[in-house]
Structure 1
Amino acid sequence: MIQTIDFHVPELEIMKVYPKPLYYLGNPALLKRPKISIVGTRHPIAYTKIYTQEIARKLSLAGVCVVSGGAQGVDGLAHFSAGVENTIMVAGTGLDIRYPSLHVKLIEGIEKEGLVLSQFEAGQPSLKWNFPLRNELVVALGDALIVTQADLKSGTMHSIEFALKMQKPIYVLPHRLGESEGTNWLLSKGLATPIYDIDAFVALFGKIDVTCKDDFLIYCDTHPLYHDAVAKFSQKVFEYECLGKIRVENGRILRA
């Protein structure tokens, strides 16, 4: 059942207008946890996918709740990799609408175990002017903003504008020329900090040592081809698959 947040959320005081009422489905206690916002393109390259997932997963393991907007691409990867029980999705529609349809199952999981927020009443469809409001809320909730890939002319750049106005720390993945002109521009202007060491970055915000001692799981973070993994770690591939620690997707091994 859709309910309204009945306590003050101090992080939202920084918004142009404090969102009231603020509707939710799920676990509102997540609002009282340390939080980091992750946003980016709807069409990430393979490099971005790998490291968005690793950052979100390790933040979650370190006790940090991951916030994003539920969109296709980076948003969905961030929610999924953090685990539905440790993520906040900010919707651009009323909460009786699961949008985008691509993420219906993911959103259902977040509604049950995580938290979905909206500033919009039930029945409100996905209108273009809803999304700047959603983006502002996503940015406001986080102690920092991570942008893993962005074009110069994109909705992600609007989120970056909010972060700059709010004086939020902005972190980005380092990219080659031509791959992510939005984040490269931020770096060229000294407006963002590159993430070169994910464990060191997570340690800035998290309370748990997330350094992995398992050579096979470290290898899985590179998303190896299945047959390469079998050739190198034959016993562990089958063992970890049976234990549910890994999954196979499009011929590659991913952490579950």
Structure 2
Amino acid sequence: MNIINKNDIKELKDLKFEKLYYIGNKELLKRPKISIVGSRKALNYSKEFAFKIAREFAKRGYVVVSGAAMGIDAAAHRGAGSENTIAVVANGLDIKYPAVNRELIIDIEKNGLVLSQFDYGFKQTPWSFVIRNEIVVALGEILIVCEAEVNSGSMRSVEYALRMNKNIYVLPHRLNSSSGTNYLLKKSLAKPIYDIEEFANSFKNIEEKKDDFIEYLKTSPLYEDAVKKYKEKIFEAEILGEIEIVNMRIIYKG
């Protein structure tokens, strides 16, 4: 069982626990990080832009931290790519929760990093999610909330961020959706993200990372071969309109 002393992680020194269990590449903790959170039942709009924000920061050398939940969390992890992501879970590491994200979590274990402060065998509870959120927020330089209702768990993450004096950013939403992020804007507690590339460029470009997936798409591979090689990423690229299929070959639209 792999264990990290909490005091060995500078971002976590002030939190009230002693150790973290981990699976994966703990060297990711040394890289600059941002935290992305949001609703489990998020709008497609919110998931799309969570994916794009995570991807842009990963290109610039950042690690994306989130909670491995459905919705925004999963979109953020996938956008960053498993090798550029840290998942903090609310259960023991022997449990893959939620089951719908099992393959995603295993992929992060192999290529990224999964963290938990809970012993093996511990099953997630409402309070363990709240505690988990504190670690997600603490690890990131900033907190990005892609969608949240006023009384949601994501707003508890906001409380942690405010207590830690971290800058908070949100996606703009219609007046009748994402009441939590709209409230943060109304109270000037968060800043809106209007242009993802411009927003990402406002942070230090740690390292220009070559995206192997994009480079592969540029070769116009056969659709069948691409699905075998990259699976979910191909389907996501189709949904996002980044590729089209012509004569059974993939055309990357950039």
TM-score, scaled to structure 2: 0.83
The superposition leaves residues 217-245 of structure 1 with CA deviations (integer Å, 9 ceiling, x where unpaired) of 8xxxxxxxxxxxxxxxxxx9992664848
Cα distance in 2, alignment partners of residues 181 and 125 from structure 1: 30
Aligned residue in 2 for 1:194: 192
Indicate the larger mover: 90-99 or 199-208: 199-208
Q: Residue 173 of structure 2 aligns to a residue in which SS? A: coil
Give how far 1:251 is off: 7.0
Residue of 30, 34, 37 corresponding to 1:36: 34
Q: Which runs of no fewer than 5 residues in structure 1 stay unpaired?
A: 211-216, 218-235
Q: RMSD of aligned C-alpha atoms?
A: 2.4
Amino acid at match of 1:188: K
Q: Residue 64 of structure 2 aligns to a residue in which SS? A: strand
Q: Does 1:247 align with 2:228?
A: no
Cα distance in 2, alignment partners of residues 65 and 209 from structure 1: 11
Cα distance in 2, alignment partners of residues 179 and 105 from structure 1: 30
Alignment of 1:118-157 (within 5 A): 118-157=116-155
Cα distance in 1, alignment partners of residues 103 and 198 from structure 2: 33
Aligned length: 229
Shift in CA distance, 142/208, structure 1 to aligned 2, threshold 3 Å? closer
Q: Residue 5 of structure 1 aligns to a residue in which SS? A: strand
Q: Residue 234 of structure 2 aligns to a residue in which SS? A: strand
| % identity of equivalent residues | 48
Aligned residue in 2 for 1:114: 112
Amino acid at match of 1:239: S
Aligned residue in 2 for 1:220: none
Indicate the larger mover: 3-12 or 108-117: 3-12
Indicate the larger mover: 240-249 or 76-85: 240-249
Shift in CA distance, 238/86, structure 1 to aligned 2, threshold 3 Å? closer
Cα distance in 2, alignment partners of residues 132 and 85 from structure 1: 26
Asked if 1 retains the 8 angstrom alpha-carbon contact of 2:62 and 2:206, the reply is no
Q: Which runs of no fewer than 5 residues in structure 2 stay unpaired?
A: 209-213, 244-254
Amino acid at match of 1:45: L
Give how far 1:199 is off: 1.2
Give how far 1:92 is off: 0.2
Give how far 1:252 is off: 3.2
Asked if 1 retains the 8 angstrom alpha-carbon contact of 2:90 and 2:116, the reply is yes
Aligned residue in 2 for 1:11: 11
Aligned residue in 2 for 1:95: 93
Asked if 1 retains the 8 angstrom alpha-carbon contact of 2:184 and 2:190, the reply is yes
Aligned residue in 2 for 1:56: 54
Q: Residue 171 of structure 1 aligns to a residue in which SS? A: strand
Cα distance in 1, alignment partners of residues 62 and 114 from structure 2: 16
Q: Residue 174 of structure 1 aligns to a residue in which SS? A: coil
Shift in CA distance, 196/84, structure 1 to aligned 2, threshold 3 Å? same
Give how far 1:248 is off: 3.5
Cα distance in 2, alignment partners of residues 144 and 78 from structure 1: 14
Amino acid at match of 1:171: Y
Cα distance in 2, alignment partners of residues 209 and 172 from structure 1: 25
Asked if 1 retains the 8 angstrom alpha-carbon contact of 2:48 and 2:240, the reply is no
Give how far 1:200 is off: 1.8
Structure 1 residue ranges (4+ consecutive) displaced by more than 6 angstroms after TM superposition: none
Asked if 2 retains the 8 angstrom alpha-carbon contact of 1:3 and 1:25, the reply is yes
Q: Residue 184 of structure 1 aligns to a residue in which SS? A: helix
Cα distance in 2, alignment partners of residues 64 and 251 from structure 1: 25
Give how far 1:43 is off: 1.1
Q: Residue 159 of structure 1 aligns to a residue in which SS? A: helix
Amino acid at match of 1:185: Y
Amino acid at match of 1:113: N
Asked if 2 retains the 8 angstrom alpha-carbon contact of 1:98 and 1:107, the reply is yes
Aligned residue in 2 for 1:76: 74
Cα distance in 2, alignment partners of residues 162 and 88 from structure 1: 18
